[in-house]
Amino acid sequence: MLNPQRSFVRPLLAWHEANGRHQLPWRDPDRSAFDILIAEILLQRTTASAVAGAYLPIIARYPSPEAVVAAHPEAVERRIAPLGLAKRAEFICRSAERLLARHSGDVPHRYEDLLGLHGVGAYTARSVLIHAFDEDIAAVDTNVRRLISRFFDVPPDSDALADLADALAPTQRGSEFQHAMLDFADDVCTARTPQCEACPFRERCRSPVYED
């Protein structure tokens, strides 16, 4: 029987250390919880490469909920407009208002409170908990679902997949593990043309993709 930590988690973390997208600005360990919340909202339905160029100017102009609320909503929208989906400016403005009204301007560290922020769903809330508060859980999007489904031969629509992802998250390395899953799924375990020949999991992956 496979030991998931030895067969999946440790090799994935090793791959990420050598190949991960460490230069992405929101992965700087000095980012505040509010910086991370802004990043997670901006990354919704948008590629990391698209957000990377706009992120630093946005958080420089709006480093806190107070700065967002003090700005005119149209000004926030203009700064986010190059990313498309201008509705996220509304998400940021309304979330900042709620942070000030309900949480003294602090990003909450309870899942239910994060879900109360405008535009924050289950994936975004979990990502904030992982990256801002060091929670040892996983956030499952399409890419993570594909990776875990293939390696462990679990149906991608299975309710058990999210629980499995949580169980895999290593103690005190949840943020790194989440980044590793996202980067590996984007670079190697892709949706249409997975790079199976270069995959470090080739001998242990249970996916039928590997069958000759």
Residue 139 tokens read as 């956030």
Angstrom distances, CA of residue 61 to CA of 19, 54, 68, 104, 175: 31, 11, 8, 20, 26
Q: Where are the alpha helices (DSSP H) in 64-211?
A: 65-70, 73-80, 87-102, 111-115, 122-133, 142-152, 160-168, 174-187
Q: Per this entry, what is the length of the chain?
A: 212
| Residue of 17, 40, 135, 211 marked catalytic | 40
Active site residue 112: no
Q: Which residue has the tokens 């949840």?
A: 174
Q: Are 54 and 45 in contact (CB under 8 A)?
A: no
Whole-number Å distance between alpha carbons of 94 and 103: 13
Q: Are 80 and 58 in contact (CB under 8 A)?
A: yes
Whole-number Å distance between alpha carbons of 130 and 119: 18
Angstrom distances, CA of residue 177 to CA of 89, 125, 138: 29, 17, 8
Residues designated as active site = 40
